Amino acid sequence: MNIKLFLCYIPALLAALSCNSFLEVEPQQSISDEATITNSTSAETAVRGMYRALAAENYYGTTFQSIGYLSGDNIEWTGSRATAGQFVNHDVRADNESVAAVWSAIYNTINRTNHIIDKVAVLPLEPTFTQEKKNQLLGEAYFVRALAYFDLARLWGGVPLYLNPTSTSTDNRGLPRSSVEETFAQVLRDLDEAEILLPETTNRIRATRKTAWALKARYYLYQKNWEQVEDYATRIIDDEANYRLLQPYGAFFMNDAVATAESVFELAYSATNTNGHRGNWQPPQLGGTRQWAPNAEFVTLVTNPAIGGNRSVLVDRTSDGRWYGNLYYRSPATDPAYIIRIAELYLIRAEARAQQGGAKLEGAQLDLQAVRSRAGLVSSGTATQNGLLLAIENERRIEFAFEPHRWFDLIRTGRAAEVLGLTDSRRYVLPIPADQILVDRALIQNDGYN
Amino acid sequence: MIIHKIQRRYQWLWILCGFVGLTFPVETIAQQTVPLVNSVLDGTVIDAATKEPLAGATIDIAGITHSTKTDENGKFRFVTGQKFPYTLIVTYIGYKTINIVADGSPITIALEQDATLLEDVVVVGYGTQSRRDLVGSVSTIKADETKQIPVGSFDAQLQGKAAGLQISSNTGVPGEGIFIRVRGTTSINANNDPLYIVDGIFLNNTSLQTVSTGGKETSPIADINPSDIESIEVLKDASATAIYGARGANGVVIVTTKRGSFNTKPVIGFNATHGWAHAPKIWDIASGPENAALLNESWINSGIDNPALNQTYENRPFRPVEEGGRGTPEEQETYDRLGDVFRTAQLQNYDLTLQGGNNSTRYYIGAGYNRQESIMQPVYFERSSFKLNLDQQISDRVQIGLSNGVSRTFRNQARAGDGPQGGMFQTALLVATYLPKNNPDGTPAKWGPWDNLDVLLNNYDVTTANLRYIGNIHADVEILPDLKFRTSFGVDYNNYEEAEYWNSLTLIGAPPTNGRATSAISQNSTWLTEQTLTYRKNWGQHRFGALIGNSLQGDIRKTTSAEGTDFANDSFKLIASAANRISNQFWTQSKLASFFSRVDYNYAGKYYIEVAARADGSSRFGGNNKWGYFPSVGVSWRAKAESFLADVDVIDDLKLRASYGLAGNQNIGDFAARGLWSGGAGYPDIVGGGDKPGTAPQQLANRDLKWERTRQVNVGLDISLLRQRLNIEFNLYHKHTKDALLQLPLPSTTGFGSYYSNEGEIINKGYEIGIQAVNIRHENFQWQTSFNLSGNTNHIKKLNAPINVYSRDWIRMQEGYPMYSFWLYNQLYVDPSTGDAVFEDVNGDGQITVADRQIMGNALPDFYGGITNNFTYRSWDLGVLFTFQYGNDVYNMNEFFDMAGGTRPDRFAIANSTKRWQKPGDVTDVPRFTTVGNNYRLEQNSRLLEDGSFLRLQSLTLGYTLPNRIAERIKSKSLRVYLVGSNLWLLTRYSGLDPESNVSNGQNVQGLDFGTPPQPRTIQLGIQLSI
């Protein structure tokens, strides 16, 4: 140190300068992570950042969604990236880049929720930062964390549960995977918390108490807790002032529509924060790459007036006769990411009612018909429990063709073997990304992927 | 009469002069007068050491055009109109040129042997040394030897010219970044390029490019006109680089530009070349009918493999139209697109210089213009440069100097890398040949994810213009005869303007985007001030020198960019006319404070020791480790100076060297050590409320982050034999990098992908051999050879978890293996009975999973080098440079995309398909075409990994210098015409176009050949004139 000091004083130029202050440079584009959520404004900005993570390309922007529909039976892979083809063929490998991307995008979202839950909870109240505001922000974080763990559980089964923010490189690693049941239990805890904290307002692009109810309805569907499904779905369906099926089907997305009455929860994009989803669907003529496209079987179904009805607007054809999906089409690429639509609540209530059978079958039929009528279709004509369940399954296939449902539906109902011919049940969950197992030895690979 | 004869004899030269725009009035030659005799001078020229007469020495009288040569007895005679005294200039090959004043006859002139190599002044860190006294390992390259090689940047021209310097061109696009390593790659995540210093300025060589050219980047080095460069020194061992401390670990490239000379008449130099370039080889693509037949075959095979696909002979795509098909394969037309994208490119270069000086001022003024078209349309590179170097002696003790370089570089760019949209090359190569260029209605047809090639060729509009200033002012003060002080201030400023416009005909601008324009203006400014004190003193046989100094440096880089979409029509091109506009801004800054010192001592020119150290403080590093210290020590022993070798005539010099020291690397992001949250993650609060500001975690802090340190040991031997006609340099080195700056992968559960830490260890070890030989030294014929060969082995000694690189993880960095290793499934063979690829089941579990991927080969060569032969015969000169690399592997990504068994619809371009398995019994490594199974679905097939070793005729130069007496008559000092060919011949087993092609400038991406044009084969004609 003495030498350094000595040298410091030799050149006259340096006499006035302290070396260390010369070397202090503060970034202007980012801020230090030492003081991030300190007041009302910074709490709000952090919550917005959390939604941006939820809407990120590899989560609800594109990749997570694509795994949900590519793994079903409506889509064929037409592009150059075999990673997409692996989902279509149910031959997903542990080094699949999309699998790794979704895994990290979801945990990235979770880390943002954990920061908010941890730091907003201890913020002092101020005139501009009321208890209601605080509850709302916390509730939104709990909701998003619930959704994130729900999606993790759907894709991978049990996952490690991290509920605290990452502040250093040693945080949030090394936990073993929880069981599926434990993971779903965490989802419920967060949803309960969100339900209490969130205001009962309508906001289609942010979580409210009603959004939490809607997700609870879906949650209980996966848990086969039919009474609860009915209860929570009904709360939304009955709120007719705010949520209703739009006529015709295309009204919820065509003509640049956003946040219509159809939508319970969707994510917003802008010219600055675009949604690249369209690029994978649209043909080159329209500035896309058409990485994947509706397959012939689905095109036949959706363009059949008796099956697809007015939902045929989901697909379109290029001048050279190639079909492409047209749910995501805007320019600038601001297509919303649809997470929960009212149609889903009708169909999950229909399913819950059909599952309960007996007197509830009629209600199930009415719920199903609500969605069919909107698509311009007459009654499915089935009244039996099994017939209805199958009709609901098929209805969901068309209704949510390009939203992430079909794969998860077939897995949760145990129908994947029959419908997709996928008998190896080890393929019902994805592999833990191979590179993650290398960096975190606590992670154990799912069966069949070693 | 004589004049007429000469005119006839050199008629073709006049034609050539006229061709390049130079005409000299014939009258100037006709003005001859009868000489008036005022003096007669008889003289003899002898060797100063042996006193032997020298035959063929040239004697000129300074200031007039009178010249003669010595006869076989070393004698000459002048009968001249000059009166005594006058100055004679005596030149003789292999001897030092001398100026001597003749004041009466006769005269004896003794010439000293020109011990060029040993007496050469070598530029080292903060000083110069003679090569004889050099302790460190330093390579010197004279820029004149390489400046005609048609690439944009001088560093690319150095390929094959220096031991220990590995250069791979990456692409045939002029002015793009190259792969350059000094003694191997030492870092995974910190930049591995050497430190460039131009006239004392630390050159910024981070590309400011923001527009996408498919992973490629422009080279900031290309802003410098190679013609202004005097010499280039490459510092390699720790003894030489430690004085550059934290930035020395990748080696240091010191560029010295030309300066005038005191007391010299002005000399005007003019150099002009014009040349042509073309692709030496292009891909062999399948014709339309072949392409269609292959698709049918794949269709049917896939249907057999998986009946659920319902793909049969009956519904094959290419069946007769009346059966509902696209016509039979034979009916398909062939549409060639590759021919449209390649062209014969034009190359031009003009340099005009003026240099000279009086007793207190010297100057060098250089102006240059260079234009190089790429063989791929519509790419070209253009540079206009101006250089002014000035030195002024203010008093006996004070001298100030100025170096100024200004250049304007313009690039017309296109995507010559990865990614389909706007990808010029891929569009030409990957669209099936049976697909027409136009739709039946005449509109341009687009196929697959690609643009229409004609649309691209006619509408490509991606340009970059940058203005670069590199300048330095310094003052040297002689405080005492032995003590000198130097202070300097330098600036490197780069203003880099990019503009892109994609009109509505291109995919990127197609409706609904309706045109996309981007504009980005980036600026980089570096300032630097340095103060040094040097002391040098001899006491008898003890020679002592010391240097201390400090430097302060600051860098700021910023970019402001805007993008507009949705234009009313294609006539509007400015963002101001766009309906949607977004903008962005970027800013970053770093500072460096340093102190350095070097002490050298030698006893009687026999025993040398040199100790250097540098302390660097950087704003980039964590609070706990802002300062790094880099010491080195070097010793050498000049055995020749010992008495036992003094009488061994065959050995002219023999020196043994050894050095040991530390150097660092700090080439990471300016704020990499910080824990940061970013802004900009905006999201609305209510529907239609527009994005409100958001914040989010960005990176984790590492307060302990510090310099990457490379410890290097070097031992070397220099030997000079046979009157210095054979000079050999040999080096062995071992570089051990610790605390490697690494973006250490974190479990994603943390919410972060990685963070910067000092985790890895990398070892490079190797040898270098440099030989320079004067094979023949005759008055009329000289032949010199210089040869260099370097071998380097690299391996990652410590890395906690492997790091995968590039899409499909083709490259993997893994402990125990070299960097740039390929991570693949090993295809053992193709089963002759089924045609299916059989892969190595590494873990023996009966199935091929990720666990069966293995490291196979790597992109680094085992050894590389170059050999240069220079011949001069009378007025003719010939230079031949071969470069070579051995043992590097290349992944043939073009074939991967182009011959994918039908898994990529419509694409079958490479006629290599003929090697595929077709029927039982076929023995081949190209599996049966099918979209099912592992044959083509496994994307990391070792089959496509090829040997990229090569031997290339890098350049061949043939020149003719006009004899002095003719040159004088056209009032010029010298005139040379020459022809340069580059890349004239290539020997390689690689099946692609160029084993040096690489898809990206990403520093960990090497050996992936995709989407980029090969290096061109060029021929240039030039003329070099000085007056």
What is the nearest CA distance from B696 to chain A, expressed in angstroms? 5
Annotated domain spans of chain B: 1-34, 264-279+343-692+707-820+859-888+948-1021
In the chain, the amino acid numbered B945 is L
The model carries a pTM of 0.84
Distance CA B539, CA B12 (A): 62
Contacts of B849 in chain A (CB under 8 A): 93-94, 449-450
**Domain made up of B264-279+343-692+707-820+859-888+948-1021: CATH architecture:** Beta Barrel (2.40)
Q: Who's near A274: CB < 8 A, 6+ residues apart?
A: A332, A333, A334
> Are the beta carbons of A31 and B446 separated by less than 8 Å?
no
> Are the beta carbons of A259 and B687 separated by less than 8 Å?
yes
Give long-range contacts, CB 8 A cutoff, 24+ apart: B195-198: B195/B244, B195/B247, B195/B248, B195/B250, B195/B251, B195/B252, B195/B253, B196/B155, B196/B221, B196/B252, B196/B253, B196/B255, B197/B252, B197/B253, B197/B254, B197/B255, B198/B224, B198/B255, B198/B257, B198/B405, B198/B470
> Are the beta carbons of B748 and A103 separated by less than 8 Å?
yes
Closest among B866, B837, B841 to B939, alpha carbons compared: B837
| pLDDT surpassing 70 at residue B27 | no
Contacts of B671 in chain A (CB under 8 A): 27, 30
Interior/surface letters B873-901, b for 16+ CB within 10 angstroms, e for the rest: eeeebbbbbbbbbbebbbbbbbbbbbbbb
What is the 8-class DSSP label of residue A129?
A: B
| pLDDT surpassing 60 at residue B10 | no
> Are the beta carbons of B595 and A434 separated by less than 8 Å?
no
CA dihedral (B368, B372, B378, B379) in degrees, to 10, reads -80
Specify the residue for token string 């019902």: A428
Residue B121, both tokens: 């002044």
**3-class DSSP string for B144-182:** HHCCCCCCCCHHHHCCCCCCCEEEECECCCCCECCEEEE
| pLDDT surpassing 50 at residue B633 | yes
Contacts of B618 in chain A (CB under 8 A): 23
> Are the beta carbons of B697 and A33 separated by less than 8 Å?
yes
Confidence of residue B780 (pLDDT cuts 50, 70, 90): confident
Write the CA distances from B10 to B7, B16, B104, B962, integer angstroms.
Answer: 5, 10, 38, 10
The answer to whether A336 and A252 have CB atoms below 8 angstroms apart is no
Determine the average pLDDT of the residues in B161-187: 87
Residue B492, both tokens: 């490197």
> Are the beta carbons of A32 and B676 separated by less than 8 Å?
yes
Distance CA B280, CA B303 (A): 41
> Are the beta carbons of B681 and A115 separated by less than 8 Å?
no
What is the nearest CA distance from B994 to chain A, expressed in angstroms? 24
Distance CA A284, CA B445 (A): 10
Give long-range contacts, CB 8 A cutoff, 24+ apart: B292-296: B292/B317, B292/B318, B292/B326, B292/B328, B292/B329, B292/B332, B292/B434, B293/B318, B293/B329, B294/B902, B294/B908, B294/B913, B294/B929, B295/B432, B295/B902, B295/B906, B295/B908, B296/B329
Annotated domain spans of chain A: 46-255+338-439
Q: Three-state SS for B197?
A: strand
Q: What pLDDT score was predicted for residue B20? A: 35
Q: What pLDDT score was predicted for residue A5? A: 41
| pLDDT surpassing 70 at residue B452 | yes
Q: What pLDDT score was predicted for residue B23? A: 33
| Residue B843 backbone dihedrals phi, psi, to 5 degrees | -95, 5
Q: List, for residues B578-608, the tens digit of each pLDDT value.
A: 998 889 899 999 999 999 999 999 888 889 9
Residue with the bigger pLDDT between B47 and A109: it is A109
Contacts of A115 in chain B (CB under 8 A): 697
- Give the chain A residue whose CA is nearest to the CA of B934: A91
> Are the beta carbons of A82 and B580 separated by less than 8 Å?
no
Q: Who's near A46: CB < 8 A, 6+ residues apart?
A: A36, A37, A112, A115, A116, A119, A120, B694, B695, B696
> Are the beta carbons of A42 and B695 separated by less than 8 Å?
yes
> Are the beta carbons of B676 and A33 separated by less than 8 Å?
yes
Specify the residue for token string 């999973």: B849
> Are the beta carbons of B692 and A48 separated by less than 8 Å?
yes
* Residue in A79, A114, A272 closest to B682 by CB: A272
How many C-beta neighbours within 10 Å does residue B463 have? Answer: 15
Contacts of B423 in chain A (CB under 8 A): none
> Are the beta carbons of B513 and A258 separated by less than 8 Å?
no
Q: What pLDDT score was predicted for residue B548? A: 93
Q: List, for residues B89-139, the tens digit of each pLDDT value.
A: 888 766 777 778 888 788 888 887 665 555 677 888 888 888 878 888 888
* Residue in A36, A80, A287 closest to B508 by CB: A287
In the chain, the amino acid numbered B747 is P
* Residue in A49, A433, A449 closest to B696 by CB: A49
Q: What pLDDT score was predicted for residue B428? A: 87
* Residue in B580, B746, B755 closest to A271 by CB: B580
* Residue in A52, A286, A290 closest to B510 by CB: A286
Confidence of residue B966 (pLDDT cuts 50, 70, 90): confident
Q: What is the mean pLDDT of each run of 10 residues along chain A (450 residues)?
A: 43 50 82 85 94 96 95 86 86 91 96 95 92 96 97 96 92 92 97 96 96 97 96 95 94 94 95 91 85 93 94 91 92 92 96 93 94 92 91 96 95 93 92 92 90
Contacts of A24 in chain B (CB under 8 A): 619
Q: What pLDDT score was predicted for residue B6? A: 42
* Residue in B615, B700, B904 closest to A169 by CB: B700
Q: What pLDDT score was predicted for residue B971? A: 74
- Give the chain A residue whose CA is nearest to the CA of B804: A435
- Give the chain A residue whose CA is nearest to the CA of B805: A97
Q: What pLDDT score was predicted for residue B526? A: 93
> Are the beta carbons of A48 and B683 separated by less than 8 Å?
yes
Confidence of residue B13 (pLDDT cuts 50, 70, 90): very low
* Residue in A29, A46, A78 closest to B905 by CB: A78
| pLDDT surpassing 70 at residue B635 | yes
- Give the chain B residue whose CA is nearest to the CA of A278: B512
How many C-beta neighbours within 10 Å does residue A362 have? Answer: 11
Contacts of B700 in chain A (CB under 8 A): 33, 166-169
Classify domain A46-255+338-439 by CATH number: 1.25.40.390
| pLDDT surpassing 70 at residue B962 | yes
| pLDDT surpassing 80 at residue B3 | no
Determine the average pLDDT of the residues in B364-388: 93
Distance CA A65, CA B180 (A): 42
The answer to whether A339 and A265 have CB atoms below 8 angstroms apart is yes
Contacts of B684 in chain A (CB under 8 A): 48, 205, 268, 270
> Are the beta carbons of A284 and B451 separated by less than 8 Å?
yes
Among B750, B815, B823, B839, the strongest candidate for a mutation testing the A interface, having the largest count of A CBs within 10 A, is B750
Interior/surface letters B485-496, b for 16+ CB within 10 angstroms, e for the rest: bbbbbbebbbbb
Percentage of residues in chain B having pLDDT higher than 70: 95
Write the CA distances from B398 to B329, B393, B537, B548, B860, integer angstroms.
Answer: 83, 6, 20, 19, 50
- The interaxial angle of helices A131-156 and A40-54, nearest 10 deg, is 20
- Give the chain B residue whose CA is nearest to the CA of A443: B747
Residue with the bigger pLDDT between A450 and B218: it is B218
Q: How far is CA B469 from the centre of its chain?
A: 20
- Give the chain A residue whose CA is nearest to the CA of B701: A168
- Give the chain A residue whose CA is nearest to the CA of B703: A168
* Residue in B685, B693, B750 closest to A173 by CB: B750
Distance CA A172, CA A161 (A): 9
In the chain, the amino acid numbered B898 is D
Largest Cα span, chain B? 107
> Are the beta carbons of B685 and A173 separated by less than 8 Å?
no
Average pLDDT, chain B: 87
Contacts of A44 in chain B (CB under 8 A): 685, 692
**Residues paired with B583 in a beta bridge:** B562
- The interaxial angle of helices A209-223 and A180-197, nearest 10 deg, is 160
Q: What pLDDT score was predicted for residue B205? A: 87
What is the nearest CA distance from A65 to chain B, expressed in angstroms? 19
> Are the beta carbons of B694 and A49 separated by less than 8 Å?
yes
The answer to whether B950 and B887 have CB atoms below 8 angstroms apart is no
Interface A-B, measured as beta-carbon pairs within 8 A, has a size of 288
The answer to whether B797 and B113 have CB atoms below 8 angstroms apart is no
* Residue in A32, A48, A332 closest to B694 by CB: A48
Q: What pLDDT score was predicted for residue B127? A: 83
**3-class DSSP string for B446-468:** CCCCCCCHHHHHHHCCEEEEEEE
Contacts of B514 in chain A (CB under 8 A): 331
> Are the beta carbons of B591 and A23 separated by less than 8 Å?
yes
Q: What pLDDT score was predicted for residue B49? A: 66
* Residue in A46, A287, A435 closest to B510 by CB: A287
> Are the beta carbons of B697 and A19 separated by less than 8 Å?
no
What is the nearest CA distance from B403 to chain A, expressed in angstroms? 22
What is the nearest CA distance from A135 to chain B, expressed in angstroms? 15
Among A41, A80, A274, A436, the strongest candidate for a mutation testing the B interface, having the largest count of B CBs within 10 A, is A80
| pLDDT surpassing 80 at residue B994 | yes
